[in-house]
Amino acid sequence: MAVSPLIVHPTDALPNPRSVSSPLKNANSAQTSSNGTPLVAPTAPSGAQPASLDVAEQLNEEEKRKYVKGKKLGEGTYANVYLGFLRDDPSKPVAIKKIKIQKEYTEGMAPDAVREIRHLQELSHPNIITLHSIFSSKDQNLNLVLEYLPLGDLEMLIRDEKGVKYGAADIKAWMGMLTRAVWFCHENFVLHRDIKPNNLLIAADGEVKLADFGLARSFSDPYKPMTSNVITRWYRPPELLFGAKHYSGAVDIWSVGLVFAELVIRMPFLAGNTEMHQISLICQGIGTPTEENWPGVTKLPEYTAEKEVHPVRGRDYFLSMFGTVGTHGVELLMKTLILDPKKRVTAREMLNHKWWQEDPKPTRKQDLPKKSGGQEKVGADLKRRPGMVEDEGKGSKVARKLDFGGGN
C-alpha cells in the first residue's frame, strides 16, 4: 500500500537517518566534544562532554555535531539557510534552515514551524524533501537539517522561456514526481495545502521534491472544521474560495492540475488579483459552478458567481490550449480541474491513468532540463516563511493573510 511500484529510492543521497534505530539507544555511550572542533581538523581528538548536560541536551549536541555549517545561502525574516555538510563525510551536502524566533508571534513556537516539523518527521519518500535531523542551537533557535536541493525549483524552469526548453516527455516526468509526492501525503493522511511551482524543488539528480509543509495538516475528523484560508490564491480550488470548512485531498489535486496547466503554457493559468477575481477566472476558464454540475455548491458559506453562467469547458477547449501533452494528458488535466471536489480525480487514480504508459515515455530524471544558478534559489526558497509568497514581482498580488486562528 505505502510503497508505490513507481518509486525508486535514491541511492546516492545521504544515508537515511530513519533507517537507523533510535538515537537514544546510544544514550549511554561516551559523548564527544561539542565545543566546535575547528573545520580545518575534523578528526581532532574529542574531549569529554561537559558534565552539566542532561541526556536530552547530550542527544541534541550529538545531532548538532553530525553537521558542519557552511556559507549562508539565504537570509529572510522567517529563517536563514546555510549550506552544510556531514562532518564524517564532507562530500555529502545538506541545507540547514535556521528558524528565527518570531518576535511578533508571542505564543511560543510559530505554528508554521510546528506543522513543518511535525509532518516532515513522518513523511519519508523520494519526492518529498527529507528532514535529516533537527537540533537546537545555544540561542534556542531551531535548526532543520534538510536535503540539499541545488537545482532551484520548478517555477524557475517554467519562467525561463529563453534559457530552458522542455517538452511533453519532461512534463510527464515532472508531473509523475509531483503526483507521487501528493499521493504519498494523502496515503499518510496529510493535506499539503500549498502546492505551487516554487514549492517543488529540484535535487542534483533532477528528482523533484515537494517542500514547504508550513500549511500542512492531518486529515480532520468529520466533526472538526478546518480553515478555508489556505493554498496560494492562483492554485486555490473553488470549494476553498467558497469557504468550505470540510474538505479533502481534492484541494491539493486542484493545485496539482494548475501546476500541470502551468507547465504546459508556461504561465499561471488562473492568476487572479483578488479572491473575487479568482472565482471569476475559474468561471470563465473552467465553468461556472452550479447546482447542476456540483450539487450543494450554493450552500457553501461564501458561494458567489457572476450572473452570466459559463458552461463547463469541454475537451476541445482544453485540447486547443494544452494539446501538446496529447489527448490522454488533456483528459487527465481535465479530471484534476473538475469543479465538484467529489468528482475530482484522486492522486491514486491519477497514478493509474493511461497517460503515463503511452508515448512519449517520461524523460529519465538525469536527462531532464536544468538551469544553473540554483544555489541562490535554494536559499531563497527555504528561507521563506512557509506558506507565504514573498514580494518578488508577483508577490504584491498574491500576498495573503494567514489564518493561525483556532479553526484549523
Residues 112, 153, 170, 194: which is the catalytic one? 194
Q: CB-wise, 59 or 297, nearer to another protein? A: 59
- Whether residue 66 contacts residue 78, with contact meaning beta carbons closer than 8 Å, is answered with no
Please select the residue that binds another protein; options are 12, 30, 43, 108, rule is CB under 8 A: 108
Q: Is 24 in the site for another protein (CB under 8 A)?
A: yes
Give residue for cell 491513468: 353
- Whether residue 116 contacts residue 216, with contact meaning beta carbons closer than 8 Å, is answered with yes
Give residue for cell 459552478: 289
Provide the CA 287 distance to its chain's centre, in angstroms. Answer: 28
Q: Is 121 in the site for another protein (CB under 8 A)?
A: yes
Picking from 334, 182, 342, 337, the residue whose alpha carbon sits closest to that of residue 246 is 342
Residues 169-188, interacting with another protein (CB under 8 A) = 188
In whole angstroms, the minimum distance from the beta carbon of 3 to another protein comes to 6
Q: CB-wise, 74 or 257, nearer to another protein? A: 74
DSSP annotation string for 355-373: GGTSSSPPPPGGGS---S-
Q: Is 138 in the site for another protein (CB under 8 A)?
A: yes
In whole angstroms, the minimum distance from the beta carbon of 59 to another protein comes to 7
Residues 52-91, interacting with another protein (CB under 8 A) = 52, 54-57, 59-60
Rounded-to-integer distance, Cα 398 and Cα 238, Å: 16
Please select the residue that binds another protein; options are 104, 139, 308, 359, rule is CB under 8 A: 139
Q: Is 30 in the site for another protein (CB under 8 A)?
A: no
Rounded-to-integer distance, Cα 235 and Cα 231, Å: 6
With a CB cutoff of 8 Å and minimum separation 6, the contacts of 38 are 44
Please select the residue that binds another protein; options are 32, 46, 102, 124, rule is CB under 8 A: 124
Instruction: Tell me if residue 316 is catalytic.
Output: no
Provide the CA 53 distance to its chain's centre, in angstroms. Answer: 36
Please select the residue that binds another protein; options are 8, 39, 276, 309, rule is CB under 8 A: 39
CB atoms near residue 293 (< 10 Å): 15
Q: CB-wise, 59 or 157, nearer to another protein? A: 59
Q: Is 274 in the site for another protein (CB under 8 A)?
A: no
Provide the CA 319 distance to its chain's centre, in angstroms. Answer: 29
In whole angstroms, the minimum distance from the beta carbon of 135 to another protein comes to 9
Q: Is 136 in the site for another protein (CB under 8 A)?
A: yes
Q: Coil, strand, or helix at residue 147?
A: strand
Total residues interacting with another protein, rule: CB under 8 A: 50
**Residue range at the interface with another protein (CB under 8 A); choices 46-54, 260-268, 366-374, 391-399:** 46-54
CA angle, 36 as apex, 31 and 39 as ends, to 5°?
A: 120
Q: For residue 319, what are the CA distances in angstroms to 101, 189, 266, 315?
A: 49, 34, 16, 6
Please select the residue that binds another protein; options are 5, 12, 30, 38, rule is CB under 8 A: 38
**Residue range at the interface with another protein (CB under 8 A); choices 24-32, 284-292, 357-365, 389-397:** 24-32
Q: Which residues are catalytic?
A: 194
